[in-house]
Amino acid sequence: MKVLITPDSFKGTLSNLESAEAIAQGWLSKRPLDQISILPMADGGEGTLETIALRYEDAIRIPTDLERESSWLLLQDGTAIVELADICGITHLAKLDPLYANTFDLGAVLKSIIQDRRVRKIVLTVGGSASTDGGVGALMALGARFSNSEGESIPLGGIGLTELVSMDLKEIPPAPIEGVTCLVDVTNHLVGPQGSARIFGPQKGATEEQVELLERGLNRLKEVSGQEDFSGAGAAGGTPFGLNLAWSISLDSGALAVATLIGLEKAIAEADLVITGEGRLDEQSYFGKVVGVVTSIANQSETRIIYCVGSSAKPLNEKGIALTDLAPSLEDAMSHPKKWLIAAGDELATREGV
């Protein structure tokens, strides 16, 4: 049997590659003669750059000039892959800072990429952000001016947007010849009940009062810029909204784009069975996330699919297994994910009739 193992990361515990390898180890302990293929997946958040790098061995990894170690990826066709989470993501903060966290470092990296003559297109993955600054920090690093009523530069971070009176984007360099695409995994607008501040602000440490300040700042950005809100503008604290002011960016589904880049459709078509998963399986998993995209592609090619997840909102039964079905508790499953993923792979292989 040809088995393709293509999970997302089990966030906060194991990477997508580590998760796939653990499942494979358990499976092969029961079915050592099966042909196992590992193809880690991602949706535009943490680990997306590494996921693509695994597939493109001829890509060039280029270090950034930031104090903290980070890099971007240059593909042979001139596409620059940039991961926001790797540059200014929430996992790199020692302490959450919802009002002052910003995208300035992202803009500094984008500026250096634009100056690289080999680059024809930028693909920016925007999941895993720490800020709610509407991408203004990035624009400031690129050369834009955002001023308060006294003509002074506003502070960095979402809180600075509350002082915004005027903006000047003339010094921002043009985008590469083939443009800029943001990979997103949400469709939220910049402002409103389902906007960036109100939906994602609390996840970044914002109190109710701080959420209202961030919402006020984003509304101020929308008013001063004169740009209409749009679906996906609220991803990564509004980063796509800001970058669109400068470059008229395009948006793409993170999981779909990664699937195309790594050749997932062909890999699934060649498999007899697909195993995918993530940390938590619920209704949202099927809307633009890794599990949903893998499921859709598997259904199109009529390839059987089963799930291996950390926990599930509903019993999986014959459709797969959750680590919480095996571990004594959710805490134990999260504390020892590799152990339980190996056990899960073992159990799934056993169900295949060994």
Task: List pLDDT tens digits, range 183-226.
Answer: 998 899 999 999 999 999 999 999 999 999 999 999 999 999 99
Task: List pLDDT tens digits, range 265-287.
Answer: 999 999 999 999 999 888 777 77
pLDDT tops 60 at residue 354: no
DSSP three-state, residue 278: coil
Helices (H), the chain: 16-30, 48-55, 84-88, 104-114, 136-142, 196-200, 208-225, 239-247, 254-262, 264-269, 290-300, 330-335, 337-351
Confidence of residue 353 (pLDDT cuts 50, 70, 90): low
Of 91 and 11, which is predicted with more confidence? Answer: 91
pLDDT tops 80 at residue 352: no
Per-residue pLDDT averaged across 86-91, rounded? 92
Q: What is the pTM of this model?
A: 0.89
pLDDT at 23: 97
User: Which part of the chain is CATH 3.40.50.10350?
Assistant: 2-39+263-351
Distances from the Cα of 337 to the Cαs of 121, 276, 278, 314, in angstroms? 37, 15, 12, 20
pLDDT at 288: 75
pLDDT at 92: 87
Residue 9 carries which side chain, given as an amino acid letter? S
Alpha-carbon span 210 to 274, nearest angstrom? 44
Q: How far is CA 158 from the centre of its chain?
A: 21
Task: List pLDDT tens digits, range 75-88.
Answer: 999 999 999 999 99
What CATH number belongs to 48-255?
A: 3.90.1510.10
User: Of the CATH numbers 3.40.309.10, 3.30.450.40, 3.40.640.10, 3.40.50.10350, which one belongs to the domain with range 2-39+263-351?
Assistant: 3.40.50.10350
User: Which part of the chain is CATH 3.90.1510.10?
Assistant: 48-255
Task: Please state, for a pLDDT cut of 70, what percent of the chain lies above it.
Answer: 99
pLDDT at 86: 93
Confidence of residue 91 (pLDDT cuts 50, 70, 90): confident
Q: How far apart are the first and last CA of the chain?
A: 12
Helices (H), 89-207: 104-114, 136-142, 196-200
Per-residue pLDDT averaged across 282-305, rounded? 90
Task: List pLDDT tens digits, range 222-280.
Answer: 999 999 999 999 999 999 999 999 999 999 989 999 999 999 999 999 999 999 999 98
Per-residue pLDDT averaged across 138-166, rounded? 98
Q: How does the average pLDDT of the chain come out, rounded?
A: 95
Confidence of residue 176 (pLDDT cuts 50, 70, 90): very high
140 secondary structure, DSSP code: H
Residue 191 carries which side chain, given as an amino acid letter? V
